[in-house]
Amino acid sequence: MTCPDCSAELAHCHGTLLTWLAECTDPACADPDPLNHNLIITTPEDLAPATHLPHAA
Ligand SMILES: [Zn+2]
Ligand SMILES: [Zn+2]
């Protein structure tokens, strides 16, 4: 997967950051920093449609 940040060689992640858990949906993500994420979810309610998350329970 590539995006403009990839082309710019910026430190970033393609996963979705779950801010209330300070975790990311990408298992390889080592830095759950909002600045590194284009996709950020701030409340568990926003996860409702998703079913593939590792810590949804
Ligand atoms: Zn990228
Ligand atoms: Zn991440």
**pLDDT per residue rounded down to tens, the chain (57 residues):** 788 889 998 889 999 999 999 999 999 998 899 999 989 999 988 877 655 666 655
On whether the CB atoms of residues 23 and 44 are closer than 8 A, the answer is no
Distance, in Å, from the CA atom of 20 to the CA atom of 10, rounded to the nearest integer, reads: 24
Biggest CA–CA distance in the chain, Å, is 36
Distance, in Å, from the CA atom of 44 to the CA atom of 57, rounded to the nearest integer, reads: 10
Structure confidence at residue 19 (pLDDT): 94
Predicted TM-score (pTM) of this structure: 0.70
Distance 47 CA to ligand 1 centre (A): 22
Distance 25 CA to ligand 1 centre (A): 15
Q: Residue 43: which domain range? A: 4-47
- Whether 53 is covered by a domain: the verdict is no
Distance 52 CA to ligand 1 centre (A): 21
Structurally, the chain folds into a number of domains equal to 1
Structure confidence at residue 53 (pLDDT): 61
- Whether 22 is covered by a domain: the verdict is yes
Q: Which ligand is nearest to the CA of 40?
A: 2
- Whether 57 is covered by a domain: the verdict is no
14 three-class SS? strand
- Whether 54 is covered by a domain: the verdict is no
